[in-house]
Structure 1
Amino acid sequence: MRNKALIVSVTVFSAYLTTAAQTILQITDFNCKAGGRNNCVPAVQAALATCNDNDSTIIMFPKGRYDFWPSSENQGFEVGFDLKEKKNVIIEGNGSEFIFHGNMQIAMLDECEQVTLRNFSVDWERPYISQAEILHVTDGYIDMKIDSEKYPYVIEKGKILFVGEGWKLPVILTYNNLFDQVTKEIVSQSWDAPLGDTFEQEAEYLGNDIVRFYGGKRQVTPSPGNIVTLFHARYMTNGIHIRKSKNTVLQNLVIYHALSHGVLGEMSENITMDNTSMTVNEAKGRVFSIVADASHFLNCKGVIKVENCAHTGMGDDFINVHGRNVIIQKVEDRHTIVTNIKGYCNQIGDEMWLLRQNKAQRGEIYIIETITPVYQDQKLIGYRISFKTDLPEDIKPGDFFENKTWTASLELRGCRILKRHRARGILVTTPQKVVIENNYFRTAGTAILIEGDIDHWFESGANTNVQIRNNVFEDCLTSGNRDGDRWQWGDAVITITPSHKPTSEKTEPYHQNIWIYNNTFKVFDAPLLRARSVRGLRFTNNEVLKTTSYQPYLWQKSAFLFDGCRDVLIWDNHLDVNYITRDVLIEHMKRSDIKTKGFKVISVKGMKTYLN
């Protein structure tokens, strides 16, 4: 074998060790040392500036603590690792702690290729979430203990304000949640803002870090010892933002805090998260981690691969993979439409499916020729999109387009999806293959939610091949849908509820080929599956075990609830004798649309099948 020559490049930085294929940069040679709380952002920028796209570059952090600070002149947010049009770069943390301060983003990967972030943790010195312990509850007030060292606060004019690094903010009421002091799980049958407007009421400091809040309208009565999370920001800036990039790997990362989604992938190809978790910093006594979803992937393509992740403490779901439905606001001519602002997730040359609102079926394919923003009073209100060929004469406002070019498959394996965070587990809507296998689910809301939204978030699109297999679902839905409220967190262990509404036994379903097999369901209540508008739905060879961990309370009283589904098979499942529910309710379906063994099929009319 021919030996490759080792070339030592002598530069002003002794850190450069260059081979024919790889350069190693020591961050310490860019005036960034572990400890000391000095700002590492300039050193990272300097190191990135030296990267050569023709070679593989490793930016090496010797193990230690490194601090990242926003610059005083920056009026927006600062980025710790700002990668623009970089190729073949590895950020190697070697087990280091990256501590952020103020309004910052962990990393931005914009139009990058072959970038890897690995082997480090991220936290904030002062997170944008605080927490309090419930001490005493009466009809007139609540006493809470708030650690003023970890979560500094002041009371001004009778109202509590929390203090951070360069900020003083109230409590945002929308998404605060209650946690059990022992299990650190979301308290059963509690949802968003369980204490209502308590934190807008008069506050009085009683000493010894105890604050009394007077009055207020609560949704639930907390128990002494419950912990409540106090959010001071919502969707500020994402943790790791991957935009228009290819072949990104996040490996062995622990993210204790971020100011919105932990990881956001947008119009990118092939993203891998391996042992990369948004998680509670137990050593600091927290029950929270990041502000929003652990990971969110919008209009991506290739493969989204998520393996060996265990997220806890987030302010929203475990993962969301979807496209974006673009609603037609106006038809200008045979080539041109005007959309709402959701039209930003498209590019010239993209193939687009046309879907009529009344059918919601993927139809003709059109190629984008031009995209221009539309402004009104200097405010962006939408996009003007022109296509290369004539549009049909019958399209109208309210119909919509779905991007065919940017659709990703999902592989999710070996993960733990727990009730230690708000809302649901897996959300996925994509026409590409989905494999969810060998995971453990113990969620506050529904474990897996499959929608397809044309009336609220506009998250597309119809699934065509979903395999849910070899998973364990245990005591999910402790904060599920009790009475039909949209903002409760799901109706069955697996919930399939696209916006498309069947109107008869002939309505063509929205989704196709969703197979649920070889799983174990350990349930305290009745509902296993709720599904609307699916063709080719299988629930086979699953084991169902009854638990007594919680009292039944969910509004769905049947094991299965189907609306407008076709070619449904429920077969060869193994049922615990203590799981006595055997009902399958169907609407907008013929009896021949479903084949079952071990369950009783009941046709109903006018059942409660749409959320408010």
Structure 2
Amino acid sequence: MPLIEAARFGIEPNSEKDAIPALRAALTACRDTNASALAFEGGTYHFWPDRAFEKYAFISNNDEGLKRVAFLLRGKHHFRIDGRGAQFIFHGPMTPFLVEECRDLRIENLSIDYTRPFHSEGRILAVREDSVDLAIPEDYPFDIRNGVLVFVADIRHPSVPTTVKSGEILYPYGHLLAYDPERRETAYMVYDKYGVQSGIAAESIGPRQVRIQVPGVNASPGDTLVFAAAHRNDPGFVISKSSDIRLRNVRIHHVGGMGVIAQRSANISLDHLIVAPPNESRVISATADATHFTNCTGRIEIRDCIFENQMDDASNIHGLYGQVTRILGPNKLEVRLVHPQQAGLTFIEAGTRLEFSDHRTLEGFGECVVESVEYLNKEYSIVTTTEMLPASVLPRTVVADADANTAEVIIENCVIRNNRARGILLGSRGKMRITGNTFHTPGAALLFEGDANHWFEQAGVRDVVIRNNTFDNCNYGVWGDACIEVRSGIAEASRVASRYNRNITIEENVFRVFGTHPLVAIYSVSGLTFRKNSVELTHLYPPRKNDGHGWLDSSNCDRIQWEDPVEICGKRSLPDAHKVLVPVAEA
């Protein structure tokens, strides 16, 4: 099987020419010749959406829609894309990679970025009770139209205006958040300002300076105010119904959604993946999670990666809950995918082993095997089972695929820092091993979640080991009260009976904290061991309001083995703690 050089098709490095037409020809040749690889020369390549592939895609925890795609990889087996250090630059809304029903696929040695980020930023000049003054850099073009702040593209799109389309690309914002420009992280204890998606009243007060009329913005002069992207339309790597997929030596400088999202896939490896801004002129990398895994099986391996400055968590690993809406017979029911970012996903098929759970306790109470599924539309399905439904199945009961979301997870030697929200959301039912990582997150570094009332994400861990990690001054923001925390969506009245998360071991870690707030906060857990850990008290931030409550905050738990951490002499911060670089893997 030949290796095909992209240059043969006129894909030229360091050219402003749109590489899409030649890329399509190269991918067709790879298919026709059963090529083993497509390789690029080092350099910069530009990709425009005008002639890109087009596909309507349902993508978990991102926004569905008709996507323009650069690398549309369907049914590719035993194939490799090697960038050889290439920089892929994308112009306007488009999804760089969509991998569907592939097996044994490697993507390596490349970076992706966009000419115009999907978010926008401005330096705060003044903050008042009902307004904020900003200086907006040239990287974020904007207009004030009819008294409303509108962010626009770096160049006008060549499309012809119609009665329903202006021919212009806009960059809408969904909420505001302040960042500390020196530390390049969310400012201390700031919170998001929502309610701005319909537009913000604004006026010009000088060259590239505006006054926005927004009351109650939690920020200070000198902060960088981020206008977060309103949508998650363009994630970087979408992996769907695929297996044995490896990303190696890949840098994601920016995407308009999640960096990597894998759904209903098996055996995913991320090796030396870096999600980070390209330089210090930006404080945001991905506009959502760095990585995300939904209903994955086999193994998920995340090794030697850096996840920083993304607008949400470093990773979230979970399953899906559908909600029972009607009982149609003794072995027949109607199921709805409730959350709009789950609509359209295939999560029940003939032969699926369904797990039924109470939406209040999240505890499972029965199983059935699916005989057939009739998908009515992207939300509703009619499910027939091979046996009688359990008597406790009622409307609002939730169902999950009992054999999905079972991946064994290894997250090792990674650096997670300076992002909004949390570190890793742990929700796989398989073994999970979190070892040798460094966390500096404004919220909980590790979170056990899952709920059946809002996100409808199945979790409930069964075997987790958290060992030899450094938790470096976490919880300087509002997204959690402890370094390691449970926030499962269990109704408060049901927490006494529920034991949704089980068998968690936390050992040989270093907790560097700027106060005496809890290291671990849990409820409805059966089996937690905390041993051989140490704690260092620093003074990097002011103390939190929940200081003095002890290292452990637990309720409604059993089988807890707690050994107080050894307190050692603290420093302000680990030497060069925020300059850790993961070396590039050798070929």
- Structure-2-length-normalised TM-score: 0.87
Deviations along 1:186-232, whole A, 9 cap, x unmatched? Answer: 101112128x759944422233322223x421242x32221111234
- The change in CA–CA distance for 1:202 and 1:51 in structure 2 (over 3 A counts) is closer
| Residue of structure 2 equivalent to 1:163 | 152
Tell me which amino acid in the other structure corresponds to 1:93.
G
For residues 514 and 437 of structure 1, the distance between their equivalents in structure 2, rounded to whole angstroms, comes to: 13
> 1:32·1:43 contact (CA, 8 Å) conserved in 2?
yes
What amino acid is the match of 1:155?
I
Q: Which amino acid aligns with 2:513?
A: V
The counterpart of 2:519, out of the listed 515, 524, 528, is 528
Report the counterpart of residue 372 of structure 2 in structure 1.
370
In 2, the alpha carbon distance for the partners of 1:404 and 1:258 equals 32
Give the C-alpha shift of residue 253 in structure 1: 0.6
Q: 2:141 maps to what in 1? A: 152
Q: Measure the CA separation in 2 of the matches of 1:62 and 1:577.
A: 51
Q: Which residue of 2 aligns with 1:567?
A: 559
Distance in 2 between residues matched to 1:504 and 1:88, nearest whole Å? 49
1:358 CA drift (Å): 5.4
1:182 corresponding residue in structure 2:
182
- The one-letter amino acid paired with 1:438 is G
| Deviating more after overlay: 30-39 vs 235-244 | 30-39
Question: Which residue does 1:172 correspond to in 2?
Answer: 173
Q: 2:450 aligns with which of 442, 449, 452?
A: 452
Q: In structure 2, give the amino acid aligned to 1:367.
A: V
Q: Is the 8 A contact 2:179 2:224 kept in 1?
A: yes
Amino acid at match of 1:337: L
**Cα gap change, 1:551 to 1:372, in 2 (>3 Å):** same
Residue aligned with 1:323, SS: strand
Counterpart residue number, 1:497: 487
Contact 2:113-2:254 within 8 A present in 1 as well = yes
CA 1:203–1:333 in structure 2 vs 1: closer, same or farther (change >3 Å)?
Answer: same
Distance of 1:102 and 1:273 partners within structure 2: 26
Partner of 1:312: 308
Residue number in structure 2 paired with 1:207: 206
Partner of 2:428: 430
Question: Matches of 2:307 and 2:409 in 1, distance apart?
Answer: 17
Q: Conserved in 2, the CA contact under 8 Å of 1:162 and 1:168?
A: no
* Residue number in structure 2 paired with 1:93: 83
Letter in 1 for 2:536: L
2:284 matched residue in structure 1? 288
In the alignment, is the contact (CA less than 8 A) between 2:118 and 2:171 conserved in 1?
Answer: no
Find the counterpart in structure 2 of residue 601 from structure 1: none
Aligned to 1:326: 322
SS at match of 1:77: strand
Once the two structures are superposed, residues 502-523 of structure 1 have per-residue CA deviations (whole angstroms, 9 ceiling, x without a partner) of 7589725111101111001111
1:53 Cα deviation from its structure 2 partner: 9.3
Change (3 A) 1:54 1:393: farther
Whichever residue aligns with residue 172 of structure 1, its letter is Y
1:137 CA displacement: 3.1
Which residue matches 1:411? Answer: 410
Q: SS at 1:516's partner residue?
A: strand
Residue 144 of structure 1: SS of its match in structure 2? strand
In structure 1, what residue type is equivalent to 2:267? N
Measured against aligned partners, the alpha-carbon deviations of 1:544-586 in whole angstroms (never above 9, x if no partner) come to 121121122244733221121100011263134899xxxxxxx
SS in 1 for 2:346: helix
1:212 & 1:330 partners in 2: Cα distance? 52
Q: How many angstroms does 1:286 deviate by?
A: 0.7
Query: Does the aligned pair in 2 maintain the 1:98–1:121 contact within 8 Å?
Result: yes
The letter for the 2-side match of 1:409 is E
Q: Which runs of 5+ in 2 are unaligned?
A: 56-65, 158-167, 572-587
CA deviations over 1:406-450 (Å, ceiling 9, x no partner) = 1212110111111x2111000011210000010001101110000
Is it true that 1:265 corresponds to 2:251 in the alignment? no
Match of 1:239 in 2: 236
Return the offset for 1:305. 0.6
Question: Secondary structure of 2:42's match?
Answer: coil
Quick one: structure 1 residues 415 and 398, their matched pair in 2 at CA, closer, same or farther if it must change by over 3 Å? same
Given that 1:450 and 1:496 are in contact with CA atoms closer than 8 Å, whether structure 2 keeps it comes out as yes
User: Is the 2:6–2:38 Cα contact (8 Å) retained in structure 1?
Assistant: yes
Corresponding residue of 2:506:
516
Q: Compared with structure 1, are the counterparts of its residues 50 and 140 closer, same or farther at alpha carbon in structure 2 (3 Å cutoff)?
A: closer
Cα offset, 1:453, TM superposition: 1.0
- Residue 282 of structure 1: SS of its match in structure 2? coil
Q: 1:577 to 1:126 in 2, by over 3 A?
A: closer
For residues 146-187 of structure 1, what are the alpha-carbon distances to aligned partners after superposition, in whole Å with 9 as ceiling and x for unaligned? 123x1111112222211115345365242x321112111110
1:135 alignment partner in structure 2: 125
The structural deviation recorded for 1:277 is: 1.7
Counterpart check, 1:225 vs 2:222: yes
Tell me the secondary structure at the aligned position of residue 317 of structure 1.
coil
Determine the structure 1 residue equivalent to 2:540.
549
Q: Distance in 1 between matches of 2:390 and 2:174?
A: 47
User: Shift of residue 332 of structure 1?
Assistant: 0.8
Aligned equivalents of 1:104, 1:170: Cα separation in 2: 13
CA distance, structure 1, for counterparts of residue 320 and residue 44 of structure 2: 40
Where 2:26 maps in the other structure, the secondary structure is helix
Tell me if 1:248 matches 2:245. yes
Provide the C-alpha distance between the structure 2 equivalents of 1:135 and 1:192, rounded to a whole number of angstroms: 19
Alignment match, 1:102: 92
Change (3 A) 1:47 1:393: same
| Residue range with higher mean Cα deviation, 222-231 or 446-455 | 222-231
- 1:62-77 equivalent positions in 2, closer than 5 A: 62-71=41-50, 76-77=66-67
Comparing 386-395 and 533-542, the one that deviates more: 386-395
Identity of aligned residues (%): 29
- 1:94-124 superposed Cα distances (whole Å, 9 cap, x missing partner): 1011010111001011000011110011001
**Per-residue displacement from partner, 1:280-299 (whole Å, max 9, x unpaired)?**
1216x111111111011000
Once residues 132 and 357 of structure 1 are traced to their aligned partners in structure 2, the CA distance between those partners, rounded to angstroms, is 42
Q: Flag the 1:259–1:173 CA change in 2: closer, same or farther, 3 A.
A: closer
In 2, the alpha carbon distance for the partners of 1:29 and 1:439 equals 42
Residues 29 and 192 of structure 1, relative CA distance in 2, 3 Å threshold: same
Query: How far off its partner does 1:139 sit?
Result: 4.3
Alpha carbons 1:53, 1:87 under 8 Å: kept: no
Residue 122 of structure 1 corresponds to which residue in structure 2? 112
SS at match of 2:7: helix
Moved more, 384-393 or 527-536: 384-393
Task: Name the structure 1 match of 2:472.
Answer: 474
Q: After superposition, what is the alpha-carbon deviation per residue over 1:444-490, rounded to whole angstroms, capped at 9, x for unaligned?
A: 1110000121221111121110000100001101113xxxxxxxx11
Q: Are 1:299 and 2:295 an aligned pair?
A: yes
1:43-97 deviation per Cα after TM superposition (whole angstroms, max 9, x unaligned): 2222222335996611010011111111269694311110011111111001011
Partners in 1 of 2:542 and 2:111 — Cα distance? 39
**1:278 positional shift:** 1.5
- Superposed CA RMSD in Å reads 2.4
Counterpart for residue 37 of structure 2:
58
Alpha-carbon separation, structure 2, partners of 1:454 and 1:339: 13
Structure 1: gaps spanning 5 or more residues: 1-21, 481-488, 580-612
Determine helix, strand or coil for the equivalent of 1:115.
Answer: strand
